[in-house]
Structure 1
Amino acid sequence: MELKEQTEFYNKYWKDYKNFGSYKLQRLSEIVKILEQVRKIKRNPKILDLGCGDGRFCAVWNEVGETVGMDLSTKAMDMASKRYPFIDFHAGDATKTEFKDGAFDIIISQEVIEHIEIQHEYVKECQRLLSHNGVLILTTPNKYYFDRRKGGNYSNQPIENILNPSQLKDLLAKDFRLLDFYTIIHPKGDYGIYKLLGSLIIRYGFSALKAEFLLQRIMSKSLLGLNIVCIAQKKK
């Protein structure tokens, strides 16, 4: 799909205000925890939210460090600039930005890479924009989960190029060093391992032992969750 068509789609997508759903709130909470860890490495960081939607998350990141937001949708950026005038917003192609090399200490990429056609260009741009030892915080839907869910991926955007964990690791390997890699959000799946883990016997067993957290941890570290979370540092 041409970039112009994608821009038109997202201008329509963001024209109405959308309340946060449960999954977005969980991702928000997870990224806030990660930022608290990362700013021990990067003090007073400059942050870029690359693919920031209507900019609401940027207002949160800005409490950690000076934040810039960018999105393909001109409509979203116009709205964001009015709502959050203390943040600098830019409209444009996330794979070909006009920011200087090494301009940011942290890049947050939340549910973006799966909507990019040439994904290695996006990763390379993140690498270019990060400062020495800069950190990329990336979340994306887990293809392994959606391949085992009735109906598959729930999103319906112009480009749906979701990745499984090994594909994402391979994509990042050249330019980034992984600091952490796990999954969050664990809804019921329908096939394979998810059918077993979703069984009443398993769930009631963990519940009876008051060890639901252990089941969640097992699914997180086994990369079985709905969303992949990747914390990666720019290679020298």
Structure 2
Amino acid sequence: MDKDYAKQIADDLQIKYNLIAGNFSSSREKPWQEMVFLFDNINEGDRVLDLGCGNGRFSEIILPRASYVGLDNSERLIALAKNRYPDAEFVVADALDIPFPDNSFDKVYSIALLHHIASEEMRQQVLSEIKRVLKPNGLAIITVWDLWSKPKRKRSIIWQSFLSFLGLSKLDLCDVMIEWQGVKDFYFHCFSPYSFKKLIQESGFDIVKYGRIESRRGANLYIVAKKS
């Protein structure tokens, strides 16, 4: 994907998340129960980064056991997070340039963020930043949507990828623009289990655990990876 177009998609997503912040937050009042097991990796006294934290809902699980920093590039979502969780630390920043020193965190969580990052190059940059701020042997816990599991979405993925293959779209293969939260042209990259694991491994992580989470809202893929 062209770098300028990838940057345009990123800028548009920031605007769109600010636009839908209220409704988005209302649809995510509490951590979803099927995801809670991912936080069993946290040890007492850990320092944890929640990358793409949204309204900060996962701080409810993390704060009793560890110190917490939530980071998101949506000013409105961070404002909501600060209002909801005044005892937590929140930062407006970009996952492509995490404003913390090397080896700062024991765990980094990236829940439903990576599929919004346009272009393979930028996804690798996000993972490089995650690896940089993790302490040696620190863990990255990463989830993405499994859009291939939804028949309606699958048709859209195949069609838009066909247009990309023919050179009739500026998107990459397995990229889609769909209507979401009432807003048109929301960007998603559609990971397969293979492409997800390949990206994590090529970014220099050792995969500790991989799996799929089923829910009534749809499936998610997850990876627990160690900084090698």
TM-score bracket, normalised by the shorter chain, equals 0.7 to 0.9
Query: Structure 1-normalised TM-score?
Result: 0.72
SS at structure 1 position matched to 2:188 = coil
Counterpart CA distance in 1 for 2:193 and 2:215 is 15
Where do residues 108-119 of structure 1 align in structure 2 (5 Å cutoff)?
108-117=109-118, 118-119=122-123
Instruction: Name whichever structure is richer in strand by fraction.
Output: 2
1:132 alignment counterpart: 136
2:35 alignment counterpart: 28
Cα offsets for 1:86-109 (capped at 9, x unmatched): 111011211111111111111111
Confirm or deny: 8 A CA contact 1:142 1:226 kept in the other structure: yes
1:193 alignment counterpart: none
Task: State the superposition RMSD in angstroms.
Answer: 2.5
**1:102 counterpart = 2:103:** yes
Structure 1 consecutive aligned stretches of length 4 or more whose deviation exceeds 6 Å: none
Distance 1:27 1:128, change over 3 A: farther
1:10 corresponds to which of 17, 40, 57: 17
Cα offsets for 1:196-226 (capped at 9, x unmatched): xxxxxxxxxxxxxxxxxxxxxxxxxxxxx82
Question: Unmatched 5+ residue regions in structure 2?
Answer: 1-7, 157-177
| Identity among equivalent pairs (%) | 25
Cα offsets for 1:7-63 (capped at 9, x unmatched): 2111111134413489x614432xxx2332x23xx5411011000111122232212
Distance 1:77 1:160, change over 3 A: same
Distance 1:155 1:86, change over 3 A: farther
1:54 alignment counterpart: 55
The alignment covers a number of residue pairs equal to 190
Confirm or deny: 8 A CA contact 2:108 2:130 kept in the other structure: yes
SS at structure 1 position matched to 2:189 = coil
Instruction: Please identify the structure whose Cα radius of gyration is greater.
Output: 1
Query: Structure 2-normalised TM-score?
Result: 0.75
1:75 alignment counterpart: 76
